[in-house]
Amino acid sequence: MTFAPIETESLILRMLKAEDFDVHAAFFATERSKGVGGPVNRADAWRKFATDFGHWALRGYGMVTIVEKSSGKQVGVVGFWNPEGWLEVELGWTVYDGFEGRNYAYEAAMAMRKYAYETLGWTTLTSVIATDNTRSIALAKRLGAQFEQDWTSPSGHSAVIYRHPTPDQIGGDGGMEAYA
């Protein structure tokens, strides 16, 4: 259950810390969290936060915190999600209020996809996105992912699945030449 921090041009991707919870809970208290099971109260946000830690223990991978290099502020989370009932590993992302439109979700997702392909040796990834989350769908497309299917999650939520290009389709660097 280790993850060495990854640095990109603007970001540091690092393991979650207990100190990250207040920002996480604030996000889950808003309508912005609708696509990832919110909004919820602080106690339920804690359960979601603890689930992210547990995912690492159970699967050996999971979500990491996105930190803005210039300010040290938490920008959001990015990483891998594969709970019971999921079809396969998902590359997912969440950007907190005030950090949209800065290219952070793209930069973080590209870095994690590179990590998946180069470090973990994976050959495929999907992104499972709530059907009404147009911003995440646009980002998946920008990442080169293609619509694969409509899907209903085990909890009954409608989603779309986007398939990311394989390492062979994007070259050996996971498409990260700009962040090498």
Q: What is the pLDDT of residues 114-129, one digit of tens each?
A: 999 999 999 999 999 9
For residue range 84-143, list pLDDT tens digits in order.
999 999 999 999 999 999 999 999 999 999 999 999 999 999 999 999 999 999 999 999
Whether 174 shows a pLDDT value over 60: the answer reads no
Residues above pLDDT 70, as percent of the chain: 94
The structural domains of the chain, ordered by start, are 6-179 (3.40.630.30)
pLDDT of residue 95: 95
- Position 28, amino acid: F
Strands 74-81 and 63-68: antiparallel
CA distances from 30 to 19, 23, 89, 95, 169 (A): 20, 11, 26, 13, 38
First to last CA, the chain: 25
Greatest alpha-carbon span in the chain: 44
Q: What is the pTM of this model?
A: 0.93
